[in-house]
Structure 1
Amino acid sequence: MRPCLKTALLAALVILTINNGLLTSAMAKGSGYIFVSSERDNAVVVLDPKSFKVIKTIATGDRPRHLRFNGERTLIYAACGEGESIDVIDVAKLEVTQRYEDIEDPEMFDLGPAGRYMYISLEDDGALGILDLSNGEFIGQIEVGDEPEGGLVTPDGKTAYVTSEVANMVHEVDIAARRIAANIVVGNRPRRLALTPDGTQLWVSNELNGTVSVIDPKTRKIVTTIGFSPKGFRPEQITPVGITFTENGETAFIALGRANHVAVVSIKTRKVKKYILVGNRVWNGTLSRDNKRLFMVNGLSDDISIIDVDKLKIIRSVPVGRVPHTVLIDD
């Protein structure tokens, strides 16, 4: 082969390799789209990550609330409470492609580590339901306290935690045995719960107490209770719900509901570092993959607040659908 031809072929190969690498990298980062469930619009709103304008409204079952990606982030599951379904949204197509029906008032849910089983808080039934996503069949139902809401599955898939708003308890469920292993009494009307990244603390928001209970999962004991006092709000207006942790395990962001603030809390000291004013009845939140931006959903002002995590300042408010509930970012 002539030297000039060989050089040209090698150069072309290098360019092709670089281009393929860039393409793979771009695909791995996701679309950047922001997905927000809208309870009153019976839809999931899709926002462009640069302009923050609505690029599509995906029709769903009635009253979509909790959203979650599958493990590959190719699908979004939406719990449609009044539609009595779990809708499946194809992230690439931006449309509902599947629907699991006859699920009575699904509230919150989590996935097992393999992604096959979905564990759903069934508010009307007072139970934790287990849905096999491979065939759409319910394979079990575990009775818990009345009006269960928050639910999570531990990374090893052995344990589920469920809050009961009426019983004022967190139920620890043995998944293999399909029974309650322990009942942990917390504050009034527990809503959401979250495990710290290292798995050593279980945080539970108590809406009517205006507090967060911090539980040691090993001892099943409350180790501390965190209170909140943003200026200008009466105790009954402080109604914490959503809990979001930074990936490094240093900071927690607590949505304070009708107090219209996000509390910034040190996970190590469990002390409030700052309050950030956002929209009306801030409900849930999520972090961008790089943990640089925090997106908070404001249920009564019909918008999301975008917060700079390093500066702990709100940088933008974006209108979305009516009564937004959950936000996800495909990044």
Structure 2
Amino acid sequence: MITTLRPQRGLTQADPGPMTAEPLLTDNVITVPIGNGPFAVAITPDGRHVYVTNETDGTVSVIDAATLSVTATVSVGSGPAGAAITPDGSRAYVTNENSNTISVINTATNTVSATVSGLSAPIGVAITPDGRHAYVVNNGAGTVSVIDTATNTITATVSVGSGPTWLAITPDGRHAYVANFTSNDVSVIDTATNTVTATIGGFNGPLGVAVTPDGAHAYVTDFSSNAVRVVDTATNTITGTTAVGTNAFLVAFTPDGLTAYVTNHASSTVSVIDTTSNTVTATIGVGNAAAGVAVTPNGLAAYVANHDSNTVSVILTLNAVSPNHGSTAGGTVVTITGTNLSGATSVQFGTRQATIIGDTPSEITVISPPGTGTVPITVTTLGGTSNPKPFYYISPPTVTSLTPASGPLTGGNLLTITGTNLATAGKVTFGTAPVTPTVVSNNEITVTAPPGASAGPVLVTITTAGGTATLTYTYVAAPTISGLSPATGPTSGGTTVTVSGTGFSSTDQVTFAGILAPFAVVSDGEISVVTPAGAAGPADVTVVTAGGSVTATGAYTYTAPPGI
């Protein structure tokens, strides 16, 4: 028995509460409420219906793939585990692990038309490509039973390894690969003679197995080593290992064989493997205790049974779009990630077609066409059209003010830029010097001015997803003081003093011994100041401008009036 691999049947489960009538969409995964303890998934050849075994309920749920709603519930034996559908789509074979039987469901009426007994804790089941035989794993006996689907009788029994769990039949129907969990090996059955012709070792808890559509490789989930091992079916040797999530469970391929989906039972995730490189290209979160997985005939979705969540996750083709926004003028380079994307014939942004500049099974790069508003991105391959992902067209920015409009050559001062369509501002350049802005709102950003190369105006360019906008900022050199005239005066103040120097045009304040003095800018090299009252003795004179400040130490002397 493999009950140690998943929750024990009969355990009390939390009440899932009322089931929602609508599936829940989160990013690229749709969650569909289902029966209790969903375990295996099988999809009809036309892709219209999905059959899910509910281990705890003793039922099979039938999902309409178009509406993602459960349209029928079929009572079967106790502890239904595996499921397989005949090539003509007319029957579903469901293993009942506790009842030691198989229920044969008529898919036209969704009723049980036959029950096959004489099995021992059956789990995995697979149908030969010609539909004439069903091969069933007997976990309790260490055997595989061969059922004649015309008579629904057992015609042969093949001894395999210890604790067999799952099996897969090659596309030519000549061999069946059986994962033996307890003996840590895989048995290869010749279906013509129903004898084991090879035993492949080197596993650590092999649980699930699937054969690529071209028949060249078998992928085996190694539950205890958290990996998938790749078997060359020509030599029956392990040629590769790919690390996945915790407790790799079952595996399924897209029709083109370029992508494998692996459920990770303890991680509650699905690893997406690029079979050309045998690397994981994505890890997708699903429900608790991910178990069975099946891919639609068009390769545009994968269905995952979540045993402990009582749900089925539907993983859609497109996972992400980056960036998900761009200019209304078009021309944005956009990367679309997902699965089964190779051979894309078109990528649509709403009704407009994008230019494809790169295409792999897991990633497409395009140049966005012109557009406005929010539009759906879809990818079309020979298998059909993907799920949509939103793309947001951003209008070009406008700028109305830059405050302050000038600052010191050393930079470092905080500036505020106002305008419109600034929410996606990612860069601001002062001449050729780039800085990163802080977005306050769609109408305001702030930025710290970088150091300037020389005094004078520079072009400030604000770059957003919608385009660019410009205005001018002026770098101001720090002021200098060369002299005061007169340099002395009474402590009562009121003396008009001419301060000579450079960089006075943007003077903000003048102080004598720290006391503000009224002033007037005569020219860039001259300020006229009226001294405030002060204590007798030398006083520091400070001039503050947009370019900084300068202090002439003790440059002015206050003199006390004579005493009698």
TM class by shorter chain equals: 0.7 to 0.9
- Which of 54, 76, 94 is 1:120 aligned to? 94
Is 2:238 aligned against 1:264? no
The equivalent residue for 1:289 is: 255
| Aligned residue-pair number | 282
Structure 2 residue runs of 5 or longer lacking an equivalent are 1-5, 8-12, 301-564
Q: Is the 8 A contact 1:120 1:128 kept in 2?
A: yes
Q: The residue matched to 1:258 in structure 2 has which SS?
A: helix
CA distance in 1, matches of 2:113, 2:278: 44
CA deviations 1:124-159 (Å, max 9, x no partner) are 111122122222332222213321011122222221
Question: Judging changes above 3 Å, is the alpha-carbon distance between structure 1 residues 287 and 137 closer, same or farther for their aligned structure 2 residues?
Answer: closer
Q: Distance in 1 between matches of 2:95 and 2:112?
A: 13
Residue 319 (structure 1) aligned with residue 293 (structure 2): no
- Residue 69 of structure 2 aligns with which residue? 95
State the distance in 2 between where 1:194 and 1:106 align.
Answer: 18
Q: Deviations over 1:171-202 (max 9, x none)?
A: 11123333221111111111111111111111
- In the aligned structure 2, how far is the partner of 1:199 from the partner of 1:294? 21
For 2:97 and 2:182, locate their aligned partners in 1 and report how far apart those are by CA, in whole Å: 18
Q: Is the 8 A contact 1:242 1:284 kept in 2?
A: yes
- Aligned 8 A contact 2:32 2:69 in 1: yes
In the alignment, the residues of structure 2 paired with residue 293 and residue 130 of structure 1 have an alpha-carbon distance, to the nearest angstrom, of 30
Residue 271 of structure 2 aligns with an amino acid whose one-letter code is: S
Q: Is the 8 A contact 2:39 2:291 kept in 1?
A: yes
SS at 2:236 equivalent? coil
Q: What TM-score do the two structures reach when normalised by structure 2?
A: 0.47
Higher strand share goes to which structure?
Answer: 2
Point out 4+ residue stretches in structure 1 off by more than 4 angstroms: 38-43
Q: 1:218 to 1:154 in 2, by over 3 A?
A: same
- State whether structure 2 residue 187 is matched by structure 1 residue 187: no
| d(CA) in 1 for partners of 2:105, 2:143 | 23
Report if aligned partners of 1:286, 1:294 keep a CA contact under 8 Å in 2: yes
Offset of 1:102 from its aligned partner?
5.1
Aligned-pair CA distance for 1:55: 4.3
**8 Å CA contact 1:86, 1:103 repeated in 2:** no
Checking the alignment, whether the CA contact within 8 Å between 2:228 and 2:243 is kept in structure 1 is yes
Residue 141 of structure 1 pairs with residue 107 of structure 2: no
1:228 aligns with 2:202: yes
Aligned partner (choices 238, 250, 269) of residue 216 of structure 2: 250
**Separation (CA, whole Å) in 2 of partners of 1:47 and 1:269:** 45
Corresponding residue number in structure 1 for 2:138:
164
| Seq. identity, % | 26
Shift of 1:53: 2.9
1:82 aligns with 2:56: yes
Residues of 1 paired with 2:128 and 2:109: CA distance? 23
Q: 1:309 aligns with which of 272, 275, 294?
A: 275
SS at match of 2:167: strand
| Residue pair 1:295, 1:306 contacting (<8 A) in 2 also | yes
Contact 1:157 1:175 in 2 (8 A): yes
Change (3 A) 1:188 1:302: same
Partners of 1:181 and 1:289 in 2: CA distance: 31
The verdict on how the C-alpha distance between 1:55 and 1:165 changes in structure 2, with shifts beyond 3 A counting, is closer
Partner residue, 2:324: none
User: Could you tell me how far apart the structure 1 residues matched to 2:29 and 2:215 are?
Assistant: 34
Which residue of 177, 186, 201 maps to 1:212?
A: 186
Question: Normalising by the residue count of structure 1, what TM-score does the alignment of the two structures yield?
Answer: 0.79
Once the two structures are superposed, residues 25-58 of structure 1 have per-residue CA deviations (whole angstroms, 9 ceiling, x without a partner) of xxxxxxxxxxxxx998979xx898xxx8354321
Task: Flag the structure with larger Rg.
Answer: 2
Distance 1:97 1:54 in 2: 23
Deviates more, 1:204-213 or 1:75-84: 75-84
Q: Which whole-Å CA distance do the structure 1 matches of 2:66 and 2:114 have between them? A: 32
Q: Which has the higher contact order (CA 8 A, sep 6+)?
A: 1
Question: Would the alpha carbon gap of residues 329 and 53 (structure 1) be closer, same or farther in structure 2, given more than 3 Å must change?
Answer: farther
**Displacement, 1:87?**
0.8
Q: Show the 5 A alignment for 1:27-106.
A: 53=27, 55-101=29-75, 103-106=77-80
Cα distance change on mapping 1:94 and 1:223 into 2, 3 Å: same
Number of the residue aligned with 1:12 = none
Three-state SS of the structure 2 residue aligned to 1:135 is: coil
RMSD, matched Cα: 2.4
Partner of 1:241: 207
Number of the residue aligned with 1:275: 241
Q: Which amino acid aligns with 1:306?
A: V
